[in-house]
Amino acid sequence: MAKSPHSFNKRQREKDKQKKNKEKRERREERKVEKSEGEAPAGPEIDWESAPVNKTLSDKEENEKEKIEKRNSDT
């Protein structure tokens, strides 16, 4: 006796879903490996010495700027 079309279609959907999830996991792993290999800074480092003075910085931003300057001068 042959399988019903409903059973066959259900099995095909399950296979497709498993295949899609497998490919998704593989892509996720590839991105994770690429990210760990890169280890590059997220953006260019700011040279505060040549930057114009910004009088609109908040206290928090001013403190962050001072921390960066201090860290750069220590190295």
The pLDDT tens digits for 10-20 are 999 999 999 99
Q: Are 43 and 35 in contact (CB under 8 A)?
A: no
Burial (CB count <10 Å: 0-12, 13-18, 19+), residue 65: middle
The whole-number pLDDT of residue 71 equals 87
Domain boundaries, the chain: 1-36
The whole-number pLDDT of residue 16 equals 97
Mean pLDDT computed over every residue of the chain? 85
